[in-house]
Amino acid sequence: MFGLGRPQPTSAEKIAAVENELKVVAEMHSRMVKICTLKCIDKTYREGDLSKGESVCLDRCASKFFETHQKISDQLQKETQARGGGGFGM
């Protein structure tokens, strides 16, 4: 009645959407760790702890990675909405 002509997702669809979102986040995290580690961590592992330079590099790399991911996600969401598609509001 109040769905404005769009059927509401079932519980199974909601669960599938959340599982898919978790999968996307886990894949993004794995890519970020791989990319930032290759870029920022010295392969000789001279110390047990991160150096200040490595730590700063990792922080910046992760920040840029998330910022870029957010911009891409926002753009894809705008395009999906412009085509009349929707999501489940997540």
pLDDT tens profile 6-58: 678 788 888 998 999 899 889 999 999 999 999 999 888 788 899 999 999 99
Q: Is residue 76 part of a domain?
A: no
Q: Is residue 37 part of a domain?
A: yes
Q: Is residue 90 part of a domain?
A: no
Enumerate residues 6+ apart whose C-beta is below 8 A from 32.
61, 62, 65, 66
In this structure, what CATH number is given to the domain that contains residue 51?
1.10.287.810
Distance, in Å, from the CA atom of 73 to the CA atom of 83, rounded to the nearest integer, reads 15
Predicted TM-score (pTM) of the model is: 0.67
Q: 62, 36 in Cβ contact below 8 A?
A: yes
Q: How many domains is the chain built from?
A: 1
Q: Is residue 80 part of a domain?
A: no
Q: Is residue 4 part of a domain?
A: no
Which domain covers residue 42, as residue numbers?
13-69
Q: Is residue 84 part of a domain?
A: no
